[in-house]
Amino acid sequence: MSSRVPEEVIEQIRSSADIVDVVGEYVQLTKRGRNWFGLCPFHGESTPSFSVTSDKQIFHCFGCGAGGNVITFLMDIENLSFQEALSRLGQRTGHEIEIRASSTSADAPSKADNRLVDMHEFAADMYHHILLNTEEGQAALDYLENRGFTREMIEKYRIGWSLPEWNYISSALQKKGYTEEELTSSGLAIAREQSDGFFDRFRGRIMFPIMNETGKTIAFSGRIMENTKQEAKYMNSPESPVFQKSQVLYNFHLARGSIRKNRKIVLFEGFMDVIAAGKAGVDNALATMGTSLTAQHIRIMKRFAQEVVICFDGDDAGWEAAKRAAIALNEEKFKVEVAVLPGKMDPDDYVRENGSEAFKEQIIGKPHAFIAFAMMHARRHKNFQYENDLLQYIQEVLQLLAGRSTPLERDLYIKQLSTETGLSQEAILQHYRKLENKSVERNRPEAPAQPVRREPKKVTSLHRAERLLMAHALADASVMDKLAQQDGIPFISEEFQAIYVQLLGFYEEWNKADFHKFLETLQDPELRKLVMETALSERDPDHPEEEISDCLKHLGKHRIEQEISLKIQQSKEAEKQHDLKRALLLAQEVIALRKSL
């Protein structure tokens, strides 16, 4: 496990990665006192019981018992092996390490995946250099500058230019040692059908890198210049082992800080919209990659944000996509608003026609509430002079209100419906209540859901003694030396016995206490939870020897009581078998044991 990476490197990575920052990418944390709290990502809960301690660099959930350090958090949340989690953290902290591909996690980056990312990084650097520093890229650079792209924007988004040559990038990649299989898998090159060799997928296009959450290039979108009309306007990389559209949000690596700070996302349809918004000072902008908003997208967004402003194109397709996204986000308890563009404009059109300031203030700064937008959507292409259109409008709005609105919102929008349609509020409210009852009935679970939160264990004096004794052993290697001199394993329960055996082996190898390092050696999540709970036990700092001695006495007494019970049972069995000699011997042993208590 950890032996494949030098211990000093592990320690450097662990100490460089602040657990509050890492956990904060998955959990919305709020500081209370010295610790940070949030909703546990490992079980469903409505009251925050998940604690992160900055001083100790550990996390612990008082609900489900999950706990550990920054490395084990990544292992649990992403289903990674130790080395895979270490590699992720190493990328964040500038300590790149090479790991062996693991079969334990389908999502973990293997060595092959890392090579694909390296290929895209190499191509991105080449495209960017050609655009900014060569005569061949000058026409594309002029085109971008004429469309309002500044040098700062070009560098920020690493925009580039692919030469119109057939195999410029594919030849360069082959010279760097990448195989034919890697060229095909990356999507950067396409195998020729009629002959050997490859040709570049992107030729004569302005190149926009698509980056993952760490800022590494994993795909491209290539745009032709306007004076070329023979090909599709945009060409995108195909999906690959490192690029799945359903899991990628454009600009995430740049927007994450602003999103985390404000708990708010502005969501666009395409990357060009994000770039236009960035020019207008909207630095919390994200976009999907030519696909509808997916559950994976929402899961990523939920780590950081509570509010989403949707800003899609002003055409019919944009309105429909905005409605679908708004409903999906609303159902995940986001505060949802929709910024509506006039006519059939897209954000880039609006910025170029009206300016960045107007876009930020008049469009993004004045969004419509979710239900208000839904009403606008429902009114589109309807003529209230026709009864069917009128009734359909009321039905659509009330269906959205049912189960998705507060009493205040319900009253507000029913009043608005009454004003718009001329129908009485009482009639509309009556119809609403029918829909609401159907919604409640439809969504009622067949059986009460079992709470994920486990019941707190009753802490017996035996359990407390085991936990305190183990807490001392975790903190001080000399305590383990003392325990090793006892006859047999000093712990009673199987869980603490298992921890004791592993801790004994750990100290034999390292000869010193290191809680974080020991935690990383535990593969069993339940044992990790128990160790975390144990480490949080309050030990007596002034009288540790007395406390350890008391624990050993209590455990020793319990062991003797167990032995007495066993011998009494054996004595009764001997009497039943008329083995009076053995029964008498066992009775004498019971008397001797009782005297030792």
Listed in sequence order, the residues at least 6 apart from 136 whose beta carbon sits closer than 8 Å to its beta carbon are 130, 161, 163
For Cα atoms 295, 301, 304, give the angle at the middle one, nearest 5 degrees: 150
Instruction: Dump pLDDT digits (tens) for 64-122.
Output: 888 889 998 988 887 677 887 888 888 888 776 655 443 334 444 567 888 999 999 99
DSSP β-bridge partners for residue 288: 249
User: Do 218 and 283 belong together in one domain?
Assistant: no
Q: What is the pTM assigned to this prediction?
A: 0.64
Specify whether the backbone of 247 is left (phi greater than 0), alpha (psi in -120 to 50) or beta.
alpha
536-550: string of b/e by CB count within 10 Å (b at 16+)?
Answer: beebeeeeeeebbee
pLDDT tens track for 205-221: 999 999 998 889 999 99
| Final residue of a structural domain among 35, 58, 93 | 93
Tell me the range of 110-119, 443-452, 517-526 where mean pLDDT is highest: 110-119
Residue 582 falls within a domain, yes or no? Answer: yes
Indicate whether 566 belongs to any domain: yes
Residues 221 and 273 in one domain: no
Token representation of residue 588: 């004498």
- Rounded distance, CA 513 to CA 480, Å? 10
My answer on whether 398 and 354 are in the same domain is no
Domain span at residue 206 reads: 111-236
Separation CA 465–CA 471 (nearest Å): 10
Number of domains in the chain: 5
330 and 421 in a common domain: no
d(CA 14, CA 267): 34
- Let me know the angle formed at the C-alpha of 61 by 60 and 64, rounded to the nearest 5 degrees: 135
Residue 17: which CATH number? 3.90.580.10
Nearest to 205 by CA among 234, 166, 178, 229: 234
153 domain-assigned? yes
Residue 582 amino acid letter: R
- Do 174 and 122 reside in the same domain of the chain? yes
Q: Alpha-carbon dihedral of residues 527, 529, 530, 535, nearest 10 degrees?
A: 120
CB 23 within 8 A of CB 59: yes
Q: Is the pLDDT of residue 457 over 50?
A: no
Tell me the per-residue pLDDT of 2-36, one tens digit each, with 9 for 90 and over. Answer: 445 777 788 888 888 899 999 988 888 888 888 89
Cα–chain center distance at 94 = 21
pLDDT mean across residues, the chain:
85
230 shares its domain with 270 = no
| Over residues 257-266, mean pLDDT | 88
Integer Cα distance of 48 and 77 in angstroms: 17
- What is the CATH classification number for the domain harbouring 317? 3.40.1360.10
CA atoms of 515 and 528, how far apart (whole Å): 11
Is residue 147 domain-shared with residue 229, that is, in the same domain? yes
Asked if the structure places residue 454 within a domain, the reply is no
325, 355, 377: which is the final residue of a domain? Answer: 377
Same-domain status, 261 and 319: yes
For residues 141 and 81, membership in a common domain is answered with no
Which of 494, 495, 497 has its CA nearest to residue 486? 497
In a domain, 450, yes or no: no
Query: Would you state the pLDDT for residue 576?
Result: 84
pLDDT tens, 152-203? 999 999 999 999 999 999 999 999 999 999 999 999 999 887 777 889 999 9
Strand order across the beta sheet in which 160-162 lies = 160-162, 205-211, 217-223, 234-236
Q: Is residue 547 part of a domain?
A: yes
**What value does the mean pLDDT take over residues 473-488?**
85
For residues 454 and 427, the answer to whether their CB atoms sit within 8 Å is: no
| 84 and 145 in a common domain | no
Please report whether residue 513 resides in a domain.
yes
φ, ψ (nearest 5 deg) of residue 30: -125, 135
Beta carbons within 8 Å of 238's beta carbon, 6+ residues apart: 187
Dist. CA 479–CA 548, nearest whole Å: 8
How many angstroms separate the CA atoms of 49 and 72, rounded?
18
Confirm whether 499 is domain-assigned.
Answer: yes
Among 394, 411, 440, residue at a domain's last position:
440
Instruction: Give residue 459's pLDDT band: very low, low, confident or very high (50, 70, 90).
Output: very low
Residue type, 262: N
- Residues 6 or more apart in contact with residue 105 via CB below 8 angstroms: 78, 79, 80, 81, 84
Asked if 554 and 519 sit in the same domain, the reply is: yes
Q: What angle do CA 92, 98, 100 make, to 5 degrees?
A: 120
How large a percentage of the chain has pLDDT more than 70? Answer: 91
25 and 44 part of one domain: yes
Rounded CA separation 465/496 (Å): 11
Indicate the Cα dihedral angle 515, 520, 522, 528, nearest 10°. Answer: 60
If DSSP codes are grouped into helix, strand and coil, which group holds residue 384? coil
Rounded average pLDDT over 342-366: 92
Among 170-179, 441-450, 557-566, 567-576, the range with the most confident prediction by mean pLDDT is 170-179
| Residue appearing with tokens 């469309």 | 147
- Helix/strand/coil for 223: strand
Residues 6+ apart with CB under 8 A from 165: 200, 203
